[in-house]
Structure formats: structure tokens, C-alpha cells
Amino acid sequence: MAFTPTQQEAIDHDGNLMIVAGPGSGKTTTSVAKARRILSDPRRSLIMVTFTKEGAEEMRKRLEKAQLDAGQPPIAKHRLRVGTFHSIALQHLFEHRKHEKVLGPAQQGILLKEALTPFSSDLDLVKDIRKEFESFMYAIDRDAHEMSDPAAKVVNRYLERLRASRATDLYTVMRDCALFADNGTIPPMNYTDMLVDEGQDTDELQKVWIFAHARAGINVTIVGDDDQSIYEWRQALGYSGMKSFMDTFGAKRIELGDNFRCREEILTHAVMLVQNNKNRLIKHLVAQRGAGGKIASYHTASTETQCDELAELISRTPNSHTNVAVLARTNRSLNDLEMSLTEREISYIRLGKSIWDDAWVATYLSLLQSLVDASPVGVFGCLGTLGLDDAVKTELLQSMRGSADEFLEARVPDLENATATDASLIKEFAKACKYWRDQLRSQTGGSVNEVVLDVGEWLSSKQRSRRTKELIKRAASILGKLKGTISSRLSFIARNKKSSETAPITLMTMHASKGMEFETVHVIDANKPEDGSDLVNTEAERRLMYVALTRAKNRCFVWYSGEPHPTIPEAQLRVLHEFEKLVEIVDS
């Protein structure tokens, strides 16, 4: 394939190199071509470092395909290593040190969650402690690292349980590997070249590890874009890390400024925004697809109105919504939209936890499923709302022997562990289930809707949390507006929760969207926070919105209610107030 002059320059350069790759600039294609050129020399070997397993797998597949398309044999394993920082650090460290049992991310999460237990009632405090915990675990000098008292207690509890498990964790592996490589305790990895993808996301320890290899004479290429550094809570260095590499090793800088994704209008406003940042590498980005894009902000009366209007817009302009991302800062902002889309029977996929996966919404759906197929799980899930002891619930579940059919006919066995009050509550629940089941069998008009709403009302009445009550009622209301049987309605929801490459609408956070592209992008809930909490680091805010805007190829719309987030005027986005005008622009 043909490369641009700057891409070709990056591919051909030997020695330490910083590839400053703007959005949509073909950085992965360039990296793969550079890797193949390096490995065309049988005397050289390459280690390619990524941040995610998915990134490593994509890089590996792209390399294999390029080799195959060129009629070349697969690259020998001993000459190429592709993996995440953690997987490579594991290999590097244990080649030279005694191998230990290493806990995976899920197991680490269990220990941390338990260590956080004393503070679990204060969600904001837990969030802050988690940030301090990450900062400490990746600190080069842990002894000199300052922490709040709650964070120190959590760290101590975590480390005590880690020692008790007679294992180490990935934090420690990465830290030991970096520091040992830096001080010469272990030698650098035996490769001639290294390529680091998403270099702006490296933290201090990863930087130490990379620098140790560069000092040892390994040719290091870092590919990144400081304007897309959006993982501050992971201690990502961004601009400072990239600049330090160039300054320390005199690395050549090559800029990939040709954007092959965004129309000119979209890229222009995105650049207007990010240019307000002072701590950044200056770039010259060019939209190679030229003009013809649409970008604006739209002011809605409320977040609820926003979701209904966006769902209505998608419904009315299907030709402009065949490959769409809806982005939000938090998953919570996507929950109401998910409900609105379901209500209009618009197919979508949700990256991350679906609102339908909420524990009590899932319980509600499971009970409806039990009314259809007599699964005992849905019935069992509701027993906790009756205030029953675990022994009573377990005994009742065991009595069903894999089917709740008898229970759903209001035939409840005598339970050894149940008090008179328990027995009465269980019988009342069983009678209600029999009534709902009979309604579904009646085949009369509206019987399905009646059951859907009645079950939702019953379960919500058992909740203490106002939010949970409202959530169950909203779920019931939406399910009641769908058509068909209980099974068909539940199937529609289940399909939307599963990832599918053919789904026209994808819901995700702004952070999760990095590296992706869509024909149309909607950014929702772009409001100015009332407490100013999201405005502490204005440069980080600009980078996050910059990433969101540059996911769009042809159309990009930023939605807000109340006051706009400061990034909207900074990007100089036109503000629309009339819904019909928005529809006209989207569909034109």
C-alpha cells in the first residue's frame, strides 16, 4: 500500500523515535509496516508493547495478515514478542528471578474490595481511596509516598491479605521489573528494537522500564498523542512522558498529521478546543477527506428530555444513524437513554454494564421469565424482599428440585426452618405468582401488559431505596410498551445487551471510545457540573472532549441541558435550540 511521506519516514527511521500520531492518522498501519521492515533483517528482533490484551491481539493479527498478503512466512516467535506491559514484565522478571504465584486483575480486585469494606458506605471516599491506592502501588519510592489515613489503612489491609495469600500481584511485578531493570539487577530484554503503542498512557514505572532499555542501546519507538492522554487516574504521564523521552535520548520526532477520518469541520473545531491547552506538543493536523461534515451542540430542557429527543431523532433519521456512537462521561448518563431506546424498540449495544443488568432490574426480569418457564432462579431472587433467613430461602429453593412449577400454582410445601410469619409471606407471594401466571395463560387483550406492570409494582413496593423503586417502575413501564409475549420482550432486551458488529447504535463512555470511529457521534450530558468537580483539571477536560469529537467521521453533535460544559464554547460550537432544526441538519 502507499504511505504518506511522513508515514514512510517513520517506517524507515532507525534509532530512537517519537511518532506523534494524531487521531485518524493511520498509526497502527504505520506501526505494523515499521515492524515488518525491522524484522526483514534477520539480525534484528522486536518487542511490541500495548496497554490492553485487545490491542496486543489486534497488532499481532495485523502483522500476520500483512505477512500473509505479502507472501511472506510467519515471523519466528523468538524474534517477535507482542504483549501488554504486565504480560511482558512477568516474562522479563521471572526469566531472572524466582517465579512466584501472581494474582490476576480479578483476584486483585477481590482483595481490594475487601480492604475497602470499612469505608464502603461512603462511595465518594471509596473513589478517592482507589485513586490514592493506584498512585501508591505504582510509586517508585513507596516509603516517601504520602497518603490520607483512610487510604493508608486500605493499603495496609490489602498488603496483609496479599502476603497471607502467599502470592504477589501485577502492581508489584511491574514495579520490581522496572526498578530492577533500571538499577541493573536484571538485564534488559534480549531484543534489538522496541515499539510502544499509545505512549502517552505510560506511567512513571513503565517509563523507567522503557528508559532502561533505551539506555542499553535498544532502538525504541514510541507512538502516541499527548492530546489523547485521558487516563490521569492511571497515573498516565501524557505530554511530560513523551517530552522526557525526546529530551533524554535525543529521539527524532515525526508527526503523523494527516487525518483520514474526520471531515474538515469536525477536525477544525476539535483542534480549536485542544489548542487552549498549554502543556502539549504543537501539531499541524489536516483533514484529508475535506469539507462536508456537520458539527453543532444542542440545548435540551432536561436530561430526561435529552434522552427522549435523541431516541426520537434516531428513529426519524435512520439513514444518518447506521453507524453511530453515543458517548457520555459516565455510564449512569447512558442508563436513561438505554431505556428510551428500548421504549422505541431501537436496536443498540451497550459497552459496559447495561441498565438492565442492575441487580434489582435483573431480578424483576428473572421473575417474569420464571412465570413463563418455571425457572426457580427468578422466584428465589425475590425471596430476599420478604425478609426471609438464608436457611428458609435455601430450603424453599431445594424443595423446587429445579422447577418452580408447583410454587407458581400456589402449592407451597411445609418448611422446617420457616416461622409462621415466614410461611404466611411465602404463601402470599406464591398466590400472587399464580395470579400473574393465570393472567398470562388467559390470552385476553392486555393481559401481558397487566402482568408486566403489576409485577413491577409489587417488586418496587418492597424496596427501601427511592432510586431502586423508580428504576424498577421505569423498567416495567418500558417493558409494558413493547409488543408481543413476555419471552419476545425479554429477548429484545437480551439482544441489545450483547455485543454485535451489526448493531447501528453503540453506547459507551467517552474514555472507552478511544481508538474507535463512527459515521455519527452524539455526546450527551455535556453540562457544566454544578459543583465544579469536573473542572479542576481543565486541560484533561479538553483532551477528553477532543477524543470524543474526533471519533466522528461525518456528523458530531454535543447535547447539554442547563449551562454548557466550558469545552463547548471553547470549541466554538454552534448552539441549536429547536429540535426540528436539529432533525433537518442531521438528515440533510
Least confident of 16-30, 109-123, 194-208, 342-356: 342-356
Least confident of 354-358, 551-555, 566-570: 354-358
Q: What is the pLDDT of residues 458-474, one digit of tens each?
A: 999 999 889 899 999 98
- The candidate with the shortest Cα–Cα distance to 137, out of 163, 159, 113, 157, is 159
**Residue 459: per-residue pLDDT:** 95
Q: Who's near 464: CB < 8 A, 6+ residues apart?
A: none
pLDDT band of 548, cuts 50, 70, 90: very high
**Residue 333: per-residue pLDDT:** 87
Rg (CA), the chain: 28
Q: Name the pTM for this structure.
A: 0.84
User: CA angle at residue 431 from 428 to 432, to 5 degrees?
Assistant: 90
DSSP letters, 412-425, are ----TT--HHHHHH
Residue 80, phi then psi, degrees to nearest 5? -140, 130
Q: Which amino acid is at 551?
A: R
Pick out the residues of the known binding site for ATP.
Answer: 21-28
Q: Who's near 371: CB < 8 A, 6+ residues apart?
A: 378, 408, 433, 436, 437, 440, 451, 455, 486
Altogether, the residues listed in the chain come to a count of 588
Tally of helices (H runs) and strands (E runs) in the chain: 24, 15
Q: How far apart are CA 513 and CA 299, in angstroms?
A: 23
The whole-chain average pLDDT of the chain stands at: 92
Pick out the residues of the known binding site.
Answer: 21-28
pLDDT band of 344, cuts 50, 70, 90: confident
Q: Who's near 271: CB < 8 A, 6+ residues apart?
A: 285
- The candidate with the shortest Cα–Cα distance to 456, out of 382, 387, 396, is 382
- 506 touches 349 (CB < 8 A): yes
Q: How far apart are CA 337 and CA 288, in angstroms?
A: 34
Strand 80-84 relative to strand 505-509, pairing: unpaired
- The candidate with the shortest Cα–Cα distance to 213, out of 345, 363, 46, 341, is 46
Q: How far apart are CA 34 and CA 42, in angstroms?
A: 15
Share of the chain above pLDDT 70, in %: 97
**Residue 390: per-residue pLDDT:** 86
- The candidate with the shortest Cα–Cα distance to 176, out of 209, 207, 199, is 209
**Residue 472: per-residue pLDDT:** 94
H or E stretch covering 57:
helix 53-69
Per-residue cell: 247: 529530551
Does the structure show a pLDDT above 70 at 536?
Answer: no
Q: Who's near 544: CB < 8 A, 6+ residues apart?
A: 230, 329, 510, 511
Q: What is the pLDDT of residues 34-46, one digit of tens each?
A: 999 999 999 999 9
**Residue 441: per-residue pLDDT:** 85
**For range 513-530, the mean pLDDT:** 93
Q: By 3-state DSSP, what share of the chain in percent is helix, strand and coil, each rounded to 5?
A: 55, 15, 30
H or E stretch covering 6:
helix 5-12
- 302 touches 580 (CB < 8 A): no
**Residue 54: per-residue pLDDT:** 87
Per-residue cell: 459: 417488586
Chain centroid to Cα 237, Å, comes to 20
Q: What is the dihedral of CA 76, 78, 79, 81, to 10 degrees?
A: 100
Does the structure show a pLDDT above 60 at 501?
Answer: no
pLDDT band of 235, cuts 50, 70, 90: confident
Does the structure show a pLDDT above 90 at 190?
Answer: yes
- 41 touches 75 (CB < 8 A): no
**Residue 530: per-residue pLDDT:** 72
Q: Tell me 323's DSSP state.
A: S
**Residue 460: per-residue pLDDT:** 95
Exposure string of 494-516, with b = 16+ CB inside 10 Å and e = fewer, is eebeeeeeebbbbbbbbeebbbe
Chain centroid to Cα 101, Å, comes to 28
**Residue 173: per-residue pLDDT:** 93
Does the structure show a pLDDT above 70 at 499?
Answer: no
Which CA distances in Å does 339 have to 135, 463, 476, 483?
A: 37, 20, 10, 15
Least confident of 143-147, 149-153, 565-569, 576-580: 143-147
Q: What is the largest CA-CA distance in the chain?
A: 83
Q: What is the pLDDT of residues 429-459, one digit of tens each?
A: 999 999 999 998 876 555 899 999 999 999 9
**Residue 104: per-residue pLDDT:** 85
